[in-house]
């Protein structure tokens, strides 16, 4: 049986133009998912056109409508917090608005020259800035993990690799091993779950966020648990490449959970 897809966006995300919570529930049942978590964007940087945070009241109503309609599917509520440690008051309001079953912590933006810059924009900057930006991205991730912000799952740890410039030597996590190990050690200490994000997971799994190399480090530092997330922004991408991801997670030493909603554990 497939593991639950614990990272899915819907029309309640600012970039969910093709998102559709109801249709996502139908697809989840069609592909045999036991459970799905809708984790819409709760974030307050505005680096993209039209970027805004989830309308959390409307989102919760939609969750309840879907739960009433799709009784054979376990529907988990959630959000994907972007840089929550920069916005503690806003994040607290979202948490107070209703129960959240799965909460993701993500870094999309870092501060460069005082301005927030999304990692998808790094490639537009001079090549010489790229290495320092990656180091800052990982330093920011560590700051979030070491903050008092409540989140359960550390999402797409090396998000920046989706946007790696073709003009640079290929990305190797080994080049940032020390920073990754610091993040993973801090995440292990606070009992965080590491997400395998399968967006762009083609190419034998090397483009999974993170890939097998980092996942093995997670096991080495004593990381307890792993979750699976497609980061789908449209129904047809739900659970994409979960077959490949499951093989990778098992190869790193983690075992399937008896309860499909539970995390895979060491
Ligand atoms: Zn994200
Ligand atoms: Zn996402």
Q: Which ligand is nearest to the CA of 19?
A: 2
**What confidence category does residue 160 fall into, taking pLDDT thresholds of 50, 70 and 90?**
very high
Average pLDDT, the chain: 95
Residue position matching structure tokens 């993701």: 104
Q: Which residues contact 35 (CB under 8 A, 6 or more apart)?
A: 4, 5, 73, 74, 75, 76, 260, 261
Separation of CA 133 and ligand 1 centre (Å): 17
pLDDT digits (tens, 9 = 90+) for 22-41: 999 999 999 999 999 999 99
| Angle between helical axes of 56-69 and 21-31 (0-180°, round to 10) | 40
Q: Determine the Cα–Cα distance for residues 110 and 114; give it in Å rounded to an integer.
A: 9
More confident residue, 100 or 199: 100
Separation of CA 70 and ligand 2 centre (Å): 23
Residue 21 in this model has a pLDDT that exceeds 80: yes
Q: Can you tell me whether residue 7 is helix, strand or coil?
A: strand
Separation of CA 67 and ligand 2 centre (Å): 21
Separation of CA 128 and ligand 2 centre (Å): 28
Separation of CA 189 and ligand 1 centre (Å): 23
What per-residue confidence (pLDDT) applies to 15?
A: 96
**What confidence category does residue 258 fall into, taking pLDDT thresholds of 50, 70 and 90?**
confident
Separation of CA 95 and ligand 1 centre (Å): 18
Separation of CA 229 and ligand 2 centre (Å): 8
Q: Which ligand is nearest to the CA of 54?
A: 2
The HSE-up count of residue 124 (CA atoms within 13 Å, CB side) is 5
Separation of CA 231 and ligand 1 centre (Å): 7
Q: Which ligand is nearest to the CA of 13?
A: 2
**What confidence category does residue 206 fall into, taking pLDDT thresholds of 50, 70 and 90?**
low
Separation of CA 113 and ligand 2 centre (Å): 26
What per-residue confidence (pLDDT) applies to 213?
A: 96
Separation of CA 8 and ligand 2 centre (Å): 7
Q: Determine the Cα–Cα distance for residues 145 and 31; give it in Å rounded to an integer.
A: 33
pLDDT digits (tens, 9 = 90+) for 90-133: 999 999 999 999 999 999 999 998 999 999 999 999 988 999 99
Q: Determine the Cα–Cα distance for residues 36 and 45; give it in Å rounded to an integer.
A: 27
Separation of CA 261 and ligand 2 centre (Å): 19
What per-residue confidence (pLDDT) applies to 203?
A: 64
Separation of CA 266 and ligand 1 centre (Å): 25
């Amino acid at each position: 049986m497939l593991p639950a897809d614990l990272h899915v966006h819907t029309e309640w995300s600012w970039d969910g133009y093709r998102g559709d919570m109801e249709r996502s529930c139908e697809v989840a049942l069609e592909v045999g998912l036991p459970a799905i978590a809708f984790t819409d964007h709760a974030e307050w940087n505005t680096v993209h056109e039209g970027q805004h945070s989830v309308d959390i009241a409307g989102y919760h109503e939609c969750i309840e409508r879907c739960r009433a309609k799709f009784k054979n599917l376990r529907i988990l509520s959630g959000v994907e917090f972007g840089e929550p440690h920069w916005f503690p008051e806003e994040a607290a309001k979202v948490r107070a608005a209703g129960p959240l079953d799965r909460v993701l912590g993500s870094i999309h933006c870092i501060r460069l020259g005082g301005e927030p810059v999304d990692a998808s924009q790094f490639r537009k900057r001079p090549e010489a800035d790229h290495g320092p930006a990656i180091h800052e991205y990982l330093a920011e991730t560590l700051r979030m993990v070491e903050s008092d912000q409540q989140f359960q799952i550390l999402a797409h740890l090396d998000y920046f690799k989706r946007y790696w410039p073709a003009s640079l030597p290929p990305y190797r996590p080994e080049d940032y091993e020390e920073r990754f190990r610091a993040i993973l050690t801090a995440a292990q200490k606070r009992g965080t779950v590491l997400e395998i994000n399968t967006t762009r997971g083609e190419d034998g799994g090397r483009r999974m966020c993170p890939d097998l190399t980092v996942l093995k480090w997670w096991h080495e530092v004593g990381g307890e648990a792993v979750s699976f997330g497609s980061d789908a922004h449209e129904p047809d991408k739900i659970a994409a490449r979960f077959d490949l991801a499951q093989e990778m997670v098992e190869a790193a030493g983690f075992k399937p959970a008896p309860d499909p909603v539970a995390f895979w554990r060491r």
